[in-house]
Amino acid sequence: MLNFILLYIMKIVVTGGSGMVGNNIKDIINSNKYLTNSDVENFHFLSSKDVDLTNREDVLNFFKDKKYDYIIHLAANVGGLYKNMAGNIEMFSSNIKINENVLEACHLNGIKRGIFCLSSCIYPANPSKFPMDETMIHESPPHSSNEGYAYAKRMLELQCRQYNKSYGYAFYCVVPVNLYGKYDYFNLKNGHFIPMIMHRFHLSRNYDVLTAYGSGKPLRQFLYARDFAEIILYILFNEKIPVQTIICCDNNEYEIKDIVHKLLDIMELSKEKLSWLTEYSDGCMKKTVTNKKLLSLMGVKFTDLDEGLKETYEWFKENYNTIRK
């Protein structure tokens, strides 16, 4: 996708640089034939070890005099359904602080162009139509299971829009669906659906029973993290794309049970061992969004889900001792 020559490279800061999407961006820029070593060195990947983004003083002091030109803001307090359900207050508070501090630092230090990551879970639980588009983010309340995180991300969209309106900045909001891939967070309690159940199945592969949570009936769209990283870089460096909010997804939608069965096949596990623990919440049953705007702005070749899941599991096994879990 990044098959255009970058005429100039600015100094770019990536928050959440040690996470799944940040590491996929690293892979892309390190392997891209259009980038020289000096170009790659202009990317600065931040982690929580570099600066506490919830602390305003720390953030403003860190960004001062760094002379960053562009930002890719990926950092967030994020987790799967059950983390959101258990911590809506903390999820709202920490993410509001992170986004407010980062935007203020951008404003005070001349960072006028950037990508800010939202999530499709911010969309209404009971929308007026499906598929939902970019105009519907604030239409009605999000699902109660993750309203803390969802409202914080909705406020990020509002903040970016107001900075763009008041100061002429180019802050794009990108809205990915359920991301998965290499470098994911494979925590058994607080991870997202795919990495969490992949890890659980891996540990339980010799057991008589394999467990999945909920009914398996919710519908979801998925996006391979490397595809999302490519989209981010394309938008960041293509100044012909109007400043706006852009949903990032393909049009395929799957029941959760279909994904579970795909994983069992990939991991060579028997479906006969599978037991659904229906006492666990399903979360939102449907949150289908459209990629119509995305495809009107750029060509995207999405990674096939089966291929992406296979690559993810192979990477998971090869790097098990060092993965985030």
Q: Residue 178: what are its φ and ψ, rounded to 5°?
A: -60, 115
Which residue among the candidates 68, 70, 123, 149 is catalytic per the annotation?
A: 149
Widest pairwise Cα distance in the chain:
61
Bridge partners (DSSP) of residue 178 are 222
Please name which of 252, 254, 255, 253 lies closest in space to residue 217, comparing C-alpha atoms.
255
Question: Is 149 a residue of the active site?
Answer: yes
Please name which of 179, 194, 177, 183 lies closest in space to residue 119, comparing C-alpha atoms.
177
Alpha helices in 125-282 (DSSP H): 147-167, 193-203, 225-237, 256-266
Amino acid at 124: P
> What's the number of CA atoms in the CB half-sphere (13 Å) around residue 275?
9
Q: Supply the DSSP string of 177-223, one letter for each residue.
A: -EEESTT-B--TTTS-HHHHHHHHHHHTTTSS-EEEES-S--EE-EE
- Provide the 3-class DSSP secondary structure of residue 124: strand
Please name which of 227, 146, 203 lies closest in space to residue 320, comparing C-alpha atoms.
203
Residue 99: CB partners within 8 Å, gap ≥ 6? 73, 116, 152, 155, 156, 159
Question: Residue with structure tokens 């935007």?
Answer: 103
Q: What are the strands, taking DSSP E only, across the chain?
A: 12-15, 43-45, 70-73, 113-117, 170-176, 178-180, 210-213, 219-220, 222-224, 245-248, 254-255, 274-277
Q: Residue 142: what are its φ and ψ, rounded to 5°?
A: -75, 175
- Provide the 3-class DSSP secondary structure of residue 324: strand
Residues annotated as catalytic (active site), given as ranges:
149
